Amino acid sequence: MKAKTKDLEGFYAAADDYMFYKAEATSFLKSKKIPYKLTQEKKIKFIVRKKVIEMDYSKSERDWFVLIYNGKDKPVETYSIDINEDETLLKQLTEPTSTPTPLPH
């Protein structure tokens, strides 16, 4: 993590919050036995409707976010604080066909 602001106190408060909610989100995913992956990659490949697509998050308005991907639909971007509260995301996460399709190498 690198501060992009002159308000270092605000940055560190936000970073602390992010770390807390990331831990909460990963704990939630583990408790539901939902696979997840932590990454700092900005360009990520997904299979959507049987085609490989590359999503570029380098220009995302969110610095710290969670991608919800069920193995078949376009990923949904959200914050870790919202992961266990959004019914749409929960449905996508717990859908019976949510096993991710392996990416081709």
Q: Which residues, 6+ apart, have CB-to-CB distance to 15 below 8 Å?
A: 1
Instruction: Please report whether residue 13 resides in a domain.
Output: yes
Residue 54 pLDDT: 92
Instruction: Please report whether residue 104 resides in a domain.
Output: no
Number of domains in the chain: 1
Q: Which residues, 6+ apart, have CB-to-CB distance to 67 below 8 Å?
A: 44, 57, 75, 76, 77
Q: Provide the percentage of residues in the chain whose pLDDT is more than 90.
A: 5
With bands split at pLDDT 50, 70 and 90, how would you rate the model's confidence at 103? very low
Q: Which residues, 6+ apart, have CB-to-CB distance to 63 below 8 Å?
A: 4
Residue 97 pLDDT: 52
Half-sphere exposure of 38 (CA within 13 A, CB side): 10
Domain that holds residue 46: 8-94
pTM (2 d.p.):
0.62
Residue 35 pLDDT: 76
Instruction: Please report whether residue 85 resides in a domain.
Output: yes
Q: Which residues, 6+ apart, have CB-to-CB distance to 99 below 8 Å?
A: 71
